[in-house]
Structures are given as C-alpha cells and as structure tokens.
Amino acid sequence: MSNNVEQQIKEAIERMRGFIQQDGGDIRYVKFEEGIVYVEMLGACQGCAALDTTLKDGVESILVEEIPGVIAVEQI
C-alpha cells in the first residue's frame, strides 16, 4: 500500500469529520486493504438508522471519486 494513498484517505476523512460531528457522530480511519477503506463509526453514528446512507452515499462516494484505488468503505 502506498503511504500517499493512505495519507489522501486520512485527509479526506478529516474533511468529512466536521459534517459527521454536527450530528453527534464521528468517524475514525482504521486501515486500507485491497481497495477497501475500513472505518469505525463513533458517537451518535453507532446504531443510527442513517448509518448505511452516511457510509455509502457520503463517505464511500467521496473516497471512491477522489482517491484512485479506493473501491469501497466498510465499517469495523
């Protein structure tokens, strides 16, 4: 894995954190393996009915669009 790709992922997640934190949640980068970014959702995100939408329509769509090599986002 390229450290550059991992750094790009971390920077993109950091930009998204403010929006997630506005609703009482948070997101933490865990790892990047075989094109998949693994994150941990914290705070109000845990058990939230909109979690799948936040992950797939929000976080995943941004990371896939912005960072070559990212194909999906999964929650740990």
Average pLDDT over residues 30-57: 92
Domain ranges in the chain are: 3-75
Instruction: Say which CATH class 3-75 falls into.
Output: alpha beta
Question: How is residue 33 written in tokens?
Answer: 């393996």
Most confident region among 22-26, 45-49, 70-74 by mean pLDDT = 70-74
Instruction: Summarize the confidence of residues 7-28 as an average pLDDT.
Output: 95
Residue type, position 60, single letter: E
The pLDDT of 37-60, averaged and rounded, is 91
Q: Cα dihedral angle (1, 58, 66, 75), rounded to 10 degrees?
A: 0
Question: Tell me: the pLDDT tens digits for 57-75?
Answer: 999 999 999 999 999 999 9
Which strand ranges, in their side-by-side order, compose the sheet holding 25-33? 25-33, 36-43, 72-75
